Chains A and B, each alone.
Chain A
Amino acid sequence: MQHTLSLIVENKPGVLARIAGLFSRRGYNIESLAVNTTETPNLSRITLVVNGDEKVLEQITKQAYKLIEVIKVNDFTGVPVVERELALIRVKSDASTRRAIIDLVEIFRASIVDVSDKDLIIEVTGDSEKIDAFKKNLEPYGIKEMVRTGKIVMERGLKL
């Protein structure tokens, strides 16, 4: 099962290496990773997507807590959250296909951020499924390159 973990860590050199090292040596695979600062300058947030059952996740969480610079570990699995990824997709496009691609971009509320005579760069944000779906729709036109960020999440304010 897939879990989204959010780690609050001290913003110190080497902290990402510690976490990546911990995951690799204990045999946990990282599916997706996003790191950035938070509203507090000395703290960073690391959002990780990992696979594993409850037991594996408990171990991951405990092992992460053992790192001195890890302050908080949240498991967002099953918690109502807003989740986002961003992707930049370079897709083949000429005059004959451009209109169809623009229609798709509108449907997915994506945007075209660069145009040339051979391709377009499209920016799309959303949850993983939306990006997967968008990508699948673009595939027939020929995806030349894709850059995709790790997932970031925020808990919803209203408890449903």
Chain B
Amino acid sequence: MQMTVAEAIIKYMQEEEGVEILFGYPGGAVIGFYDALYNSTLKHVLVRHEQGAAHAADGYARSTGKVGVCVATSGPGATNLVTGIATAYMDSTPIIAITGQVRTSAIGKDSFQEVDTRGITMPITKHNYLLKDPGEALRIFKEAFYIAKTGRKGPVLIDIPADVFSAKIEYIVPAKVELLGYRPNYEPHPLQLRKAVQLIKESERPIILAGGGVIASDASAELIKFAEKINTPVVTTLMGKGSIPEDHDLCCGFIGMHGAAYANYAINESDLIIAIGVRFSDRSTGKVETFAPGAKIIHIDIDPAEIGKNVSVDIPIVADAKRALEKLYEMVEPKHNPIWWEKIKEWKAKYPLRYRWDDDEIVPQYVIEKIYEKTKGEAIVVTEVGQNQMWAAQFYKVKRPRQFITSGGLGTMGFGFPASIGAKIGNKDKIVIDIAGDGSIQMNIQELATASAEKLPVKIFVLNNSCLGMVRQWQELFYGKRYACTLLDVAPDFEKLADAYGAYGRRVTKIDELEDAIEWALNINDAPVIVDIKVKREANVFPMIPAGGSIDKMMID
């Protein structure tokens, strides 16, 4: 059957990949694609800035486990996607970015709205393509989806010149993907597993470190079964939050710069770390040389390049987390570790996550606790980046994977709100909240128009401290309270702003207004809502291990 490339790729995405939604923004080079969309049943969400499209596709992917798709035009459209693609790359989320390019004959001539999209996105995509030959379209799309969702997941970009969209092709989908240089290994090596089992047997203070890879491989159930069999505490990375319910007896919170003190003590005093789907980022380990000095490390990861990159590993296991955990569960003998647990319980009792109360001003941590309470811990929590992100991570205990969505690797301010739009579209039956700061919410505030147009009741809670809180905190602690360019004394009236965009808005300045406002927001179901909560400017995130520091430098509060 003859059709245009634009029609063929839409058909392919719907029929072969089950794509239900695109997030995008039209432009000159993609008119041909949008023209094909006009008569299609494939739903398209019109964002108000391309960055929003990439984050929305990312939030959709993270919250559903499916591949998210975003579309932008050539030149500025493509460059506006860049932050979103890099965010997805750093956190290994599967998205497909389709960008328009100037027509084939105009490439390389500095034509209107031309940039080298493939060159720009090379270091921030798992793979990318410039689709010049219309006959290659379906092969490339099949490969792109396959690459995005297999192995270590990640973004794949396909750059398509305007004339290629309208070229006619036969609709023939290749039978299979043939990539000579891409064969991810899923099966753990039996010998390595036996060595791991032996180390687990010998260990006295074992700990499991679960990362985003556990969630990406849908290995939560296997993780819990395995951890229960060897009665071993589980700490997570920020990205691993939700891989085990945080009210589970074995769960000991998340480690790292702002992780719970007991989590950091536990991993640092352990004699064996069973690390699954983690990359030992600097925010997790602090100073690598002094990280868990007495521990041997079993490192399970789908990406061989992660093993030995940041820390030296004793037993490397290149495998899918799910398969490795299934095998390990069968092979290990039950353990109890009673002395170790006593120690951990002691740390938990001595150093719980806590914060300083204030009689006069609203404390941000308390706000998170109240949101947690009012949503019964069931909401999908999306965060921006900074203090709001860390408080949300510390005080919103999640129950399941894909419930906590945050930009961990790139740390992208402005991620949360568009990502929550994607999450809400993928999870119509769930409450989706965005925990924001007054800084980061303004970075993609234009997406209020998108959420209003789509009638998406995303709940934005702005922890408004009238400053760029995390940087302000560093300035207070490490730069002699010289608050250079971090105090946001002029801010929009978020109530009026919400109104202007057709959303609901409410301001909370007193603590006795808080619960009512949260309940009010949760009951809205026809439009986005902003609750602007004035919180204490000087509130800081603790515990804190300063960047590049060891656990002995931890500030508890």
Contact = CB atoms under 8 A, between A and B. Distances in A.
Contact of A62 (B122, B123, B305): B305
Contacts of B122: 14, 17-18, 21
Contacts of A67: 181
A14 B305 contact: no
B304 interface: yes
Contact of B303 (A10, A66, A69, A70): A66
Contact of B305 (A10, A18, A65): A65
A74 interface: no
Contact of B309 (A14, A59, A65, A68): A59
B130 interface: yes
A59 B180 contact: no
Interface in A19-62: 21-22, 25, 55, 58-59, 62
A18 B126 CA distance: 11
B305 A69 contact: no
B127 A68 contact: yes
A63 B147 contact: no
B480 interface: no
A100 to B, nearest CB: 50
Nearest to A71: B181
A62 B123 CA distance: 15
B59 to A, nearest CB: 25
Contacts of A69: 181
A13 interface: yes
B127 A62 contact: no
Contact of A68 (B119, B182, B303, B308): B182
A9 interface: yes
Contacts of A71: 180-181
B181 A59 contact: no
Nearest to A72: B181
B181 A10 contact: yes
B191 interface: no
B181 A68 contact: yes
B315 to A, nearest CB: 16
B123 A21 contact: yes
Contacts of A18: 122
A interface secondary structure, majority: helix
Contacts, number: 39
B123 A25 contact: yes
Contacts of A59: 305, 308-309
Most A C-beta atoms less than 10 A away, residue of B180, B181, B303: B181
A8 to B, nearest CB: 9
B118 interface: yes
Contacts of A21: 122-123
Nearest to A60: B305
A68 B128 CA distance: 10
Given A14-B130, A55-B308, A59-B309, A68 B179 contact: yes
B176 to A, nearest CB: 16
Contact of B181 (A9, A55, A62): A9
Contacts of A17: 119, 122
A3 B538 CA distance: 54
A6 to B, nearest CB: 15
B135 to A, nearest CB: 15
A52 B376 CA distance: 54
Given A17-B122, A18-B122, A21-B122, A63 B305 contact: yes
Contacts of A10: 180-181
Contacts of B180: 10, 71
A48 B216 CA distance: 35
A41 to B, nearest CB: 14
Interface string B300-339: 0001110011000000000000000000000000000000
A131 B119 CA distance: 36
A13 B130 contact: yes
Given A13-B130, A17-B122, 9 more contacts: A9-B181, A10-B180, A10-B181, A59-B308, A62-B304, A65-B181, A65-B305, A68-B147, A71-B180
The 8 closest A-B pairs by CB, nearest first: A62-B305, A71-B181, A68-B127, A71-B180, A68-B182, A70-B181, A62-B304, A63-B305
Interface of A: 9-10, 13-14, 17-18, 21-22, 25, 55, 58-59, 62-63, 65-71
